[in-house]
Structure 1
Amino acid sequence: MRKKLLILFLASLLISCAGNKNKVNVYIWSDYLSPDVIEKFERETGISVNLDTYDSNEALLEKLQTGVSKYDVVVPSDYMVQILTKQNLLQKIDKQKIPNLRYINKKFLNQEFDPENNFSVPFFWGTTGFAYRKDKLGEVPNSWQTLFDEKYAGKILMLDDMRECFAVALKLLGHSINETDTTVLLKAKDLLMKQKKLVKQYNSSGFDQAILSGDVWIAHGWSGQLVKISETDTNIVYVLPKEGGTLWIDNLAIPKSAENVENAHKFINFLLKPEISARVSEFSGYATVNDSAKKFINPQYLTPQRYPDDETLKNFELMKDLGKVTRLLDRFWTEIKSQ
């Protein structure tokens, strides 16, 4: 009887493993991949894609920390790659299985958050700024101060993202977005506390629709969605504030707990094909790290808003892992949100 049970158990295990050969589980930012890109991968490989989305790096971290997630591909931003690597939540990437790495612009490789790109592959980059409705504002704003102006009370949206909100306050105070001095962080917290009464909503997934509908007049957000809507509605303008802000790189990575590692490599390599990277860029609004992709991108999308130059970005920074200071920010953020 025991032998029979053992045989049945092993058989079910083999069936389960065999089933996994034809799927890849992806956890990615919302509004990133178009359905036609996923369909093309499935058609070419016979591998089905299961897609779930998140709207903050912290949501991704929380999911992977549970230890029960079965995602094969995730898309952490720069500083989150650092955190996930330190916590042993990512596995090394087999670069031999990703020949399309050769298309990535070298300036995006070997960054401080992953010096040899052992755990991550650069995918897209962008900025964090704000958009405003020029049919509602009687000015042409170029500063984060606009998001703290009392005359726009109830018409302001902020990202529901701790690091991004603190980045705004820190830049307005003249500091780095990676500041760790407690006195400075307290000042940033106080600034965000005062702003709270002006903010209609904190939203990281529908900020573009909120300003498009006119529900808010000023929306803090990521370049992709905001630039996209500004290209279709001339009343919306995307701004990179004079004080600077967040520059970010989103990366493809494979969690330690991934079950379909071979398929994960195939999916990553597929996304790095120039024509596929071009399609993702057009759909998402974000800038590709893939130089060879640009020849496949409609020239109307190769704009300074999507691809700002070095001079424009001189005061913008990549986020870094703040280590133990993150706990302090967590506490401050809870105080702000619960006020």
Structure 2
Amino acid sequence: MKKIRNMIIFSSIITLLLTAFTGCGSQDKATKNGYAKEIHLYNWTEYMPDSVFKEFEKEYGIKVIQSTYSSNEEMMAKLIAGGTSQYDVAVPSNYIIKALNDKKLIQPIDKSSIKNLSNINGDFLNQSFDKGNKYTVPYMMSMSVLAVNKKKLSQLGITINSYNDLLNPKLKESIVLPDDQRECIGIALKALGYTENETDQAKIDQAMQWLNKLKPNIKAYDSDSPKTLLISNEVSVGLVWNAEAALAMKQNKDIQVIFPKEPSSMSLDSFVIPAGSKHKKEAELFINFVLQPKISKMISDVYPYANPNKAAKSLLGKDYINNPASNLPESEIKKGEFLQDIGTSVKYYDSVWTKFKN
């Protein structure tokens, strides 16, 4: 026993030494190439696997330290309150890019350093919120979908084809929504026949009345992992981002995705570099690294959002291609509506959301 114990101790010491030497090797690689030893990424929760960071550190010796947020508004507030030097890369949605730029929170990207930008489908480039992609590089597109438990709905005798069907009293405390004001107020506006980018205060106030009717049916607000409540059969319906639906479907055979008759909400999330980034060169190196087809595939394998990387499409497996929640139908994308910047009308949304949540 003593011999075995000594062998275990010796083995543990060797493992620790090897780990330490490996870490030193990575740092030496960064120093040798004139890179900083770490960069700070500010990203959505559950949006990029750790395996990507490990591959990046292995190749360049640069460690990625990730912090996460649950909404665009939270992200922008943090950049304003704490300063833009906290992070080197962030991943905001399209509708908030103009506000970030107007407040001088982001800086231009040197596209000559992003050679892999050519891998992005041209349909996702040169969008109205950033003509010429001066400040943004597309990462992933998401669509808000309805993920439903078909078995539970069958037991309740419910069919869902519209956001208005969510008001059914049989769904009491059986819906999970994202903790996101634009998404939640957006479905109310669309249920009323308006656009989710409405700027008319009277119409936005009507959305408040619709949400109040929905309130008894809401069990939880969860932007981080709403699929959890679906997988565990704790809710019957979830308004979730498409990748959450795809993952829930893989783990619970009773979950299916539904595209309502109203347009679905879409967001194009892009890489940006905060204005005060201390490591712009390394940030651009990281962005270019992520746009490699094999790395893009690695991300979609874990978080199956709509992938704008055309070079990665041929690498994606059947689980992605055959799942309508990940490989979104073209008809739904065409019907969908991108969230847009609503300027000063955001104050009406803020007011409605505050009253609704309290």
Is the pair's TM-score, using the shorter chain for normalization, greater than 0.5? yes
Pairwise CA distance, 1:282: 1.4
How far apart are the structure 2 equivalents of 1:38 and 1:155?
37
SS at match of 1:128: strand
Q: Distance in 2 between matches of 1:27 and 1:312?
A: 30
Q: Note the C-alpha offset of 1:301.
A: 0.7
* Shift, 1:21, TM fit: 1.1
Unaligned runs of 5+ in 2: 1-30
Cα offset for 1:324? Answer: 0.7
> How many angstroms apart in 2 are the aligned matches of 1:203 and 1:305?
19
Residue in structure 1 matching 2:306, options 282, 287, 290: 287
* CA deviation map 1:228-261 (0-9, x unaligned): 1112321011112111120111101100021111
Match for residue 92 of structure 1 among 91, 104, 108: 108
In the alignment, what sits opposite 1:326? 346
Deviations 1:106-156 (A, max 9, x none): 000010111111001011112101211112112442221232211111111
Q: Write the letter of the residue equivalent to 1:313.
A: I
Letter in 2 for 1:58: E
Q: Please name the residue that 1:115 is paired with.
A: 131
Q: Does the alignment pair 1:129 with 2:149?
A: no
Q: 1:35 aligns with which of 33, 45, 50?
A: 50
Quick check: 1:79–1:113 contact (8 Å CA) kept in 2?
Answer: yes
Counterparts in 2 of 1:151 and 1:260: CA distance versus 1, 3 Å: same
Deviates most, 44-53 or 126-135: 126-135
Distance 1:20 1:51 in 2: 18
Residue 227 of structure 1 deviates from its aligned partner by 1.2
Q: 1:187 to 1:131 in 2, by over 3 A?
A: same
Matched, 1:309 2:350: no
Q: Distance in 1 between matches of 2:217 and 2:319?
A: 36
RMSD of aligned residue pairs (Cα, Å): 1.5
Q: In structure 1, what residue type is equivalent to 2:180?
A: D
Quote how far apart the aligned CAs of 1:326 are.
0.2
Question: Higher mean Cα deviation, 136-145 or 260-269?
Answer: 136-145
The question of 1:55 aligning with 2:55 is answered: no
State the aligned residue count: 321
Contact 2:243 2:325 in 1 (8 A): no
Q: Distance in 2 between matches of 1:313 and 1:254?
A: 28
Name the stretch that deviates more: 137-146 or 283-292. 137-146
Q: Which of the pair is proportionally richer in helix?
A: 2
Amino acid at match of 2:66: L
Find the aligned partners of 1:155 and 1:317 in 2 and give their Cα distance.
26
Cα-to-partner distance string for 1:244-301 (whole Å, 9 max, x where unaligned):
1201111011000211111100110000001101111111111211111012211331
> Are 1:46 and 2:66 an aligned pair?
no
Other structure's SS at 1:24 match: strand
Q: Secondary structure of 1:247's partner?
A: strand
1:253 aligns with 2:269: no
Q: Secondary structure at the match of 1:300?
A: helix
Say whether the 8 Å CA contact 1:177–1:245 is kept in structure 2: no
Normalising by structure 2, report the TM-score: 0.86
Bigger Rg, which one: 2
- The separation in 2 between residues aligned to 1:140 and 1:198, in whole angstroms, is 15
Q: What secondary structure is seen at the aligned counterpart in 2 of 1:64?
A: helix
Residue of structure 2 equivalent to 1:25: 40
Identity of aligned residues (%): 35
- Equivalent in the alignment of 2:16: none
